[in-house]
Amino acid sequence: MMLALTSFSCNASYDTFLLDTQLTLLPKIAILEKNLIFANNKSPFKILIVYDREDDDIAKSSMKTLMRNLNGRINTHPILIEILPFDKVDNVASYHFIYVLKASVSQLKKVHTATTSSGTITAIYDSNKLAESGLLLSIQMERNPVILINSKALKENHFLFPDSLLEITRIL
């Protein structure tokens, strides 16, 4: 545990508890989307972590955290995780789930543009930028984790989540 805290401490702007909570819960929420397409039950669930080059260590550590927290699988699907800096984001439509670390509004819009109408579930670390980013999901910490869904992204992309999930989320 100390090693994980040390690797995150190089960039004190990340809340390690929030980051770990998001990396644990957001992929599990994403897989609930009813329109996700897989070739079969053994096809990988493809995850991409997008980051600013300053956060290279955070991105690598997040990838390890995801593998550890999900035990390499989500439901019946093995997970395949890649990391990519913002300056390389162009065509990312082949991923099921994209998690975005800290970013500027222009970087967030680049991810949004690259994923528009692709069916890719997007999530963001900075919950306060969720509405303006065009991305779909985030989690913020109050007394308990609060799942946030961007209503505009939900409608634009025709995402379908179980009613039971929507009942416990905060729709923005």
Q: For the chain, which residues make up each domain, given as ranges?
A: 15-171
In 3D, which of 106, 66, 104, 103 has the Cα closest to residue 82?
A: 66
Which pLDDT score, from 0 to 100, does residue 5 have?
41
Amino acid at 107: Q
Structure tokens at 100: 């975005």
Whole-angstrom CA distances from 132 to 13, 64, 107, 135, 151 are: 20, 29, 12, 8, 11
Inter-residue contact 43 to 96 (CB < 8 Å) = no
Whole-angstrom CA distances from 80 to 46, 72, 150 are: 5, 8, 26
Whole-angstrom CA distances from 55 to 12, 18, 76 are: 11, 16, 31
Provide the 10 A C-beta neighbour count for residue 61.
22
Which pLDDT score, from 0 to 100, does residue 11 have?
46
Per-residue pLDDT of the chain (172 residues; tens, 9 = 90+): 333 443 444 444 899 999 999 999 999 999 999 988 887 888 999 999 999 999 999 999 999 999 999 999 998 899 999 999 998 888 777 899 999 999 999 999 889 888 877 889 999 999 999 999 999 999 999 999 999 999 999 998 899 999 999 999 999 9
The residue count for the chain: 172
Which pLDDT score, from 0 to 100, does residue 7 have?
40
Which pLDDT score, from 0 to 100, does residue 92 have?
76
Which pLDDT score, from 0 to 100, does residue 4 have?
45
Burial label for 115, CB within 10 Å (0-12, 13-18, 19+), is buried
Which pLDDT score, from 0 to 100, does residue 10 have?
44
Domain boundaries 15-171, corresponding CATH code: 3.40.50.2300
b vs e for 18-47, b when ≥16 Cβ sit within 10 Å of the residue's Cβ? bbbbbbbbbbebbbebeebeeeeeeeebbb
Q: Report phi then psi at 87, rounded to 5.
A: -70, -5
Which pLDDT score, from 0 to 100, does residue 117 have?
72
